Amino acid sequence: MKTYLPKPKEIEKKWYLINAQGKVLGRLAAKIATILRGKHKPIFTPSLDCGDYVVVINAEKIKLTGEKLKQKIYSFHSGYPRGARYVTAGKLLESNPKKVLYLAVKRMLPKNKLGRKLLTKLKIYAGENHPHSAQKLVELFPRDSKG
């Protein structure tokens, strides 16, 4: 019996809407990475793009547990000598709230061409407004429930 390998034309892509208000950063990023990768589908294949599109709104209202706002440090490097820059999670959340969630999801995806391709299907917005109303968005976590 041969293993079934889905063809790219057979893979159906859906659009999901996630409201990040009050959600914990790591748990939300793990769920987003799972959806982008396609692990929630029965036809999941590790070497193919089986995942769906994800639109995240209210990224500025995301929650970090414990003392992470002060203690978690993001490091960036320009490539030049002494080009290292260090920013706490609190300051990064103030200046660029989309980048905090983007980096969390990016680091949970594969570190190769497929991972970079999957990351283009993630759309993050700091507020409520987004330009993806034409796609039939399915709200993943309803507002009244926790998760």
Residue 90 domain flag: no
What are residue 123's phi and psi, to 5 degrees?
Answer: -120, 120
Residue 19 domain flag: yes
Residue 113 domain flag: yes
Residue 103 domain flag: yes
Residue 84 domain flag: no
**Residue partners of 56: CB distance under 8 A and separation at least 6:** 18, 20, 32, 101, 122, 123, 124, 125
Sign of CA dihedral 116, 122, 123, 125: negative
Domain that holds residue 119: 15-64+98-139
The count of structural domains within the chain is 1
One digit per residue, pLDDT tens: the chain, 147 residues? 888 889 989 999 999 999 999 999 999 999 999 999 999 999 999 999 999 999 999 999 999 999 999 999 999 999 999 999 999 999 999 999 999 999 999 999 999 999 999 999 999 999 999 999 999 999 987 665 555
What is the CATH classification number for the domain harbouring 135?
A: 3.90.1180.10
pLDDT at 1: 84
Model confidence, pTM: 0.92
Residue 71 domain flag: no
Residue 91 domain flag: no
